Structure 1
């Protein structure tokens, strides 16, 4: 991109020209790469899912150089086919509007292999699950608009939506040696915080197979259901809490193998913003307090 790009035309008053740039990164499976920002007061959108990017520095000759530098610095990421997509109007904490030049580009890699230097994690999400995430409405609208254009073939050449991206050779989605896929156990964990800032934890039974005699989130394993449906069911069964799926947002994931040779586990943490009922012990064989 150069200074003749329409969004940055010299006819636009300087105070309204973007000084920040972000990358809208998508893959052939219809997923978008989001960045979970640190929960640090005073930074832009703390604790939210957002696009990678940042502000223009004196050495940047264009906003394309800005976004490429930010991708390298934040995640060691290089996207060859970045192209201008839109200007997003973001609101700062003081209510002022900040124009951000958004570049779109295709990438099919595994974010777990990237060297993230800022924030908590990078993760692929499909647009339909994003309303459950904590993210700026303008970013959500931007992604939905791009997904619609991509589906209609208006965003340039890219693998067709629905196509499966090849697994990264070092990523957890790659087949195990010998070509045999290994099933992963999916666990869900409930982060519940009341108006006083207190977090609900349960004291696991001493005989529990996992984390016995330890204070822990209410948790359970997925059956033939989605992770959010599992969370809603476990909250009701374990503690008598009623949670609406639309009030749940994904906040963290831990993919692990406890010991070599054990079955891999994906532990997903969800936060419920609203619920009804008072916590009570309904499964004393699992939770004692």
Structure 2
């Protein structure tokens, strides 16, 4: 049995709203993973030869139509969905408060809508590991794990 590690980058665009910090989220649709759940407005696998930063910039352009994203590294998450570590994920999470262009749904076949949501009142249902990530966004924790029993 082989071991697979799947890398991905996530971008949380942030802005100050009337009631505090808001994050831009997407409602997933038409995908094989977590349809009907809220998730980062821009995220995806890191491709061969690409850095996590490059993947984050590419995903922001492909999924939201924004460029010149002022990425700030938030943390890395290692996660699994199995009792044995066969298919594990490593996720790099970034935030950005500056970008060029107006965020919009570029891939309507994968995204039903995007919405600015207060960080302290996230919509339901959320992709579970992303809800966990957003709960730790300003914790100064550089490394998180998800999916292992305590």
Superposed pair shares fold, TM > 0.5: yes
Structure with the bigger percentage of strand:
2
- Who wins on radius of gyration, i.e. which is larger? 1
Judging changes above 3 Å, is the alpha-carbon distance between structure 1 residues 79 and 102 closer, same or farther for their aligned structure 2 residues?
A: farther
Q: For each residue in 1:157-209, what CA deviation from the matched residue of structure 2 results, as whole angstroms up to 9, or x when unmatched?
A: xxxxxxxxxxxxxxxxxxxxxxxxxxxxxxxxxxxxxxxxxxxxxxxxxxxxx
Aligned residue number for residue 88 of structure 2: 97
Structure 1 residue 64: deviation in Å? 0.7
Find the residue that maps to 2:115 and give its secondary structure.
strand
Root mean square deviation, CA, Å: 2.9
Aligned residue number for residue 86 of structure 1: 75
Structure with the bigger percentage of helix:
1
Judging changes above 3 Å, is the alpha-carbon distance between structure 1 residues 97 and 115 closer, same or farther for their aligned structure 2 residues?
A: same
Aligned residue number for residue 32 of structure 1: 23
C-alpha distance in 2 between matches for 1:79 and 1:126:
24
Q: Which has the higher contact order (CA 8 A, sep 6+)?
A: 2
Structure 1 residue 105: deviation in Å? 1.1
Structure 1 residue 37: deviation in Å? 0.9
Judging changes above 3 Å, is the alpha-carbon distance between structure 1 residues 126 and 147 closer, same or farther for their aligned structure 2 residues?
A: farther
Which 4+ residue blocks in structure 1 deviate beyond 6 angstroms?
Answer: none
Structure 1 residue 103: deviation in Å? 1.3
Judging changes above 3 Å, is the alpha-carbon distance between structure 1 residues 27 and 124 closer, same or farther for their aligned structure 2 residues?
A: same
TM-score (norm 2): 0.70
Structure 1 residue 85: deviation in Å? 1.2
Residues 44-193 of structure 1 aligned to structure 2 (within 5 Å): 44-51=33-40, 52-60=42-50, 62-91=51-80, 96-107=87-98, 111=103, 114-117=104-107, 118-130=110-122, 132-147=123-138
Q: For each residue in 1:8-58, what CA deviation from the matched residue of structure 2 results, as whole angstroms up to 9, or x when unmatched?
A: xxxxxxx66x62111122112200011111144xx2222211112111223
* Unaligned runs of at least 5 residues, structure 2: 141-150
C-alpha distance in 2 between matches for 1:122 and 1:35:
4
Q: For each residue in 1:234-262, what CA deviation from the matched residue of structure 2 results, as whole angstroms up to 9, or x when unmatched?
A: xxxxxxxxxxxxxxxxxxxxxxxxxxxxx
Q: For each residue in 1:223-281, what CA deviation from the matched residue of structure 2 results, as whole angstroms up to 9, or x when unmatched?
A: xxxxxxxxxxxxxxxxxxxxxxxxxxxxxxxxxxxxxxxxxxxxxxxxxxxxxxxxxxx
Asked if structure 1 preserves the Cα contact closer than 8 Å seen for 2:66 and 2:102, the reply is no
Structure 1 residue 141: deviation in Å? 2.5
